Amino acid sequence: MAKQTLAYNEPYVLYKIEIKSLKVEFGNGAVLDVSHLLSNGRANYILFENLISTFSGIGQNSQGGKSDLRDVAGFNFEVKSYQDVEAYPASKVDFFHTASSSTFGANNHGPVVKRLLDEGNYGAALELCKEKGYDKNDFYVYVNSAQYRIEVPLSYVIVPKPEVLRLLSKSDPRLISRRDVLGLVTKTIEISGL
């Protein structure tokens, strides 16, 4: 029997997947429930990226240092996480990181971006963010996996890069609004599983 290829990958559609648990089954038949790991970003990053790849039909990118996912046409997809609206409704978590991680904190280009923004040079900060990340991607996949809560369905939406660039924060080109991204959603599709 041939493996079914899923294709939940239409831009602006919010795809929802209900997850019940995460378990490890051992050779002796014992099962360990490790669902608590889903709330940890380090633990869930690869797992959720793999799930999105499986459900969207967009392959894992085998080219190191590139975007997270790549389709057969050669388009690059970067996966970014945000806190779910239902789990974290407070407006203070509206903006989240969408630029390359190398542009934040003490990472490679973070101090330069911060200095440019402190100097009021948003344009130069944006150009650096484009060079270090935005220009390498064609689409962004936004997933509600930041501090994920299992009682809320996993959801993701695919947004073309031009729309992402249009929605960037006007004070920091590394950030995007959760409200704005979710405002692009044209419909919601619940995925029942594999």
Decide if 170 is inside a domain: yes
Decide if 23 is inside a domain: yes
Decide if 25 is inside a domain: yes
Residue 61: what pLDDT? 76
Residue spans of the chain under pLDDT 70: 1-5, 62-65, 91
Residue 122: what pLDDT? 97
Residue 25 is given by DSSP the state E
Q: What's the total number of domains in the chain?
A: 1
Residue 103 is given by DSSP the state G
Domain holding 96, by residue range, is 13-191
Tokens representing 46 are 């690869």
Decide if 3 is inside a domain: no
Decide if 128 is inside a domain: yes
d(CA 136, CA 78): 9
Closest CA to 48 of 140, 133, 146: 146
Residue 1: what pLDDT? 37
Residue 64: what pLDDT? 62
Residue 116: what pLDDT? 97
Pairing mode, if any, of strands 31-33 and 69-70? Answer: unpaired
A 10 A CB-CB count for 34 gives 12
Decide if 137 is inside a domain: yes
Decide if 6 is inside a domain: no
Closest CA to 153 of 15, 44, 36, 54: 15
Residue 62: what pLDDT? 67
- Chain-centroid distance of CA 169 in Å reads 17
